[in-house]
Amino acid sequence: MRWALVKVCLAVTAMVVVAFAVPLGLVVQEMASDRAFSNAERQAATIGPTLSITTDPGQLRKAVESTQMGAARRMAVHVPAIGGSAPVEIGTTRAGAHAVEETRRVGRAMTAPLPGGGSALLQPTALGSGDIAVVEIFVPESEVSNGVATAWVVLAGVGLALIVGSVAVADRLGARLVRPAERLADAAHQLGEGRLGARVPEAGPKELRSAAVAFNSMADQVVELLANERELAADLSHRLRTPLTVLRLNAASLGDGPAAEQTRAAVEQLEREVDTIIRTAREQRAPASVAGGGAGAGCDASEVIRDRMAFWSALAEDEGREVRLAGVDRTVRLPVARPELAAALDALLGNVFRHTPEGTPFAVDVHDAGDAVIVLVSDAGPGIADPDAALRRGNDGGRDGSTGLGLDIVRRVAESTGGDVRIGRSMLGGTEVRVWIALDDRARGGSGGVRTRRVSRRKRRG
């Protein structure tokens, strides 16, 4: 579109330049010719008073030589025969006798082209005897076209400058039109490739600004829909896997017998069906580039931890597990939605009950690091031999009896704020899962969210 606009502007400007420059050049050429012949008529009129007084050849020759044209050998006087005397011709003659006689017969000035180039102005002048003498002035071609070449060059330069200027202006205007369209197309490609953070600056002409606003609104709706779907997957884990874990542990304590075996088989089958449902929802959820919470999402980490620990404490008491809480006696605001943080805690605590023997103590600690909040879930179990592999399994869900959603939910909650998840050895001797949640403007109430997140990453690397 940009080059099409340039071509159109080039064609229109070229036609305008030709339409005005060519007639103007012809007018200049005509004015130069009129100026040359008007000057020749004035020079011819200078010898008129002498011809009205005398026709003596000697006096006429002196009068002709005294003029500018006569001195330049460009003037001639044709005097007809008077009273039986022979015709007299004074000066350098170039016009033919036929042109002189035609001028004398017509009685007005005439212009006769000359074979060698140039023209001759023939001016009739009345004599005292009533006869007609003809004054001839030679007008060379250089005088007729004097200044015409310069005028054509100037007109060509002005026309070229107009064309170049119009092309430059058209190119700038085309760029102003094309760049927003290119940004819109690029953002559409990015959105199609799964980069849901792609947005279009609302700049450019009114129509393209409207298109950018519509695109950004559509992208926001897509992100919101995918975030809702992601929350649905986490909610399935929160609502289904947690009760199933309790049910499976209770079924394990029923002892032996056909009814107990049937109950445990039914629980295992139900757990497999739930795993299948969660995996299906997980395959259709939003990619990792979608942020977890909305613009105003946030919760109190201490309140959420206390609430979830109240849920798990009954099972911990039944299994004889010692539970320790630390750092939950004060408000700790996080830029994470409450359902997501609750789902992440349930996933971590469910892993503790699922992968450690009964009676194994565990602890949940909350630390406020200023620019980040660290949530530690540790236990005194056998630990994890390969933490990196556990994180990978949490990402791909490749284990039997596991959807892979647990650690993946925890990781996505942390990464949505710029944090991360790490697995290590706890002070209790078992596994420690550290969830680093970076704080942004919504949690801190400040205006440096991006800067704070970068600082927290540098500190974490250090």
Model pLDDT for residues 275-290, shown as the tens digit of each residue: 766 665 555 544 433 3
* C-alpha dihedral sign at 351, 353, 358, 359: positive
Q: What is the pLDDT of residue 325?
A: 92
The reported pLDDT for the residue numbered 408 is: 76
Strands of the sheet with 420-425, listed across from one edge? 323-326, 362-368, 372-379, 431-438, 420-425
- Tokens coding 153: 């060059």
* Structure tokens given for 101: 């006689």
Return d(Cα 59, Cα 212) in angstroms, integer.
Answer: 94
pLDDT at 230: 65
- Provide mean pLDDT across the span 349-359: 88
Contact 97, 136 (CB under 8 A): no
Q: DSSP letter string over 172-235?
A: HHHHHHHHHHHHHHHHHHHHHTT-TT------SSHHHHHHHHHHHHHHHHHHHHHHHHHHHHHH
What three-state secondary structure class fits 295? coil
How confident is the model at residue 364, as a pLDDT?
Answer: 94
Condensed to tens digits (0 to 9), the pLDDT of residues 404-423 reads 456 777 888 888 888 889 99
CB 114 within 8 A of CB 129: no
Looking at residue 255, its pLDDT comes to 73
Q: 134-148, 225-239, 274-288: which has the minimum mean pLDDT?
A: 274-288
Report the pLDDT averaged over residues 398-402. 46
State how far the Cα of 326 lies from the Cα of 309, in Å rounded to an integer: 12
Q: With beta carbons less than 8 A apart as the criterion, state whether 127 and 55 touch.
A: yes
Q: Residue 376 and residue 366: Cα distance in Å, rounded?
A: 6
Nearest to 346 by CA among 367, 321, 364, 361: 364
Q: Work out the average pLDDT over 121-128.
A: 86
Q: What does the CA dihedral 50, 56, 61, 63 come to, rounded to 10 degrees? A: -20
* Minimum mean pLDDT range among 103-117, 262-276, 309-323: 262-276
pLDDT at residue 104 above 90? no
pLDDT band at 373 (very low <50, low <70, confident <90, very high): very high
Q: Which residue has the higher pLDDT, 461 or 247?
A: 247
Query: What integer pLDDT is reported at residue 281 of this predicted model?
Result: 58
Give just the sign of the alpha carbon dihedral 160, 165, 171, 174.
negative
- Per DSSP bridges, beta strands 323-326 and 110-113 are unpaired
Distance CA 358, CA 250 (A): 12
List all residues 6 or more positions away from 420 whose beta carbon is below 8 Å from its beta carbon. Answer: 411, 414, 436, 460
433 pLDDT more than 80: yes
Choice between 380 and 391, residue whose per-residue pLDDT is larger: 380
Can you tell me the distance from the alpha carbon of 332 to that of 302, in angstroms, rounded to the nearest whole number? 6
Phi and psi (nearest 5°) for 227? -65, -40
CA atoms within 13 Å, Cβ hemisphere of 71: 4
> What is the value of pTM for the model shown?
0.40
| 55 band by pLDDT with thresholds 50, 70 and 90 | confident
**What is the predicted pLDDT for the residue at 291?**
40
In DSSP terms, which residues pair with 425 in a beta bridge?
431
What is the C-alpha separation between 101 and 80, in angstroms, rounded? Answer: 10
Task: Tell me the average pLDDT across 329-337.
Answer: 88
* Cβ-based neighbour number of residue 398 at 10 Å: 11
**How far apart are alpha carbons 421 and 415 in whole angstroms?**
8
Q: What pLDDT was estimated at residue 446?
A: 39
pLDDT at 374: 93
Measure Cα distances from 315 to 103, 307, 432, 443 in Å.
133, 14, 21, 33
Alpha-carbon gap, residue 366 to 312, rounded angstroms:
17
Q: Please indicate whether residue 203 or residue 123 has the higher confidence score (pLDDT).
A: 123
Q: Which of 67-71, 280-284, 338-342, 420-424 shows the lowest mean pLDDT across its residues? A: 280-284
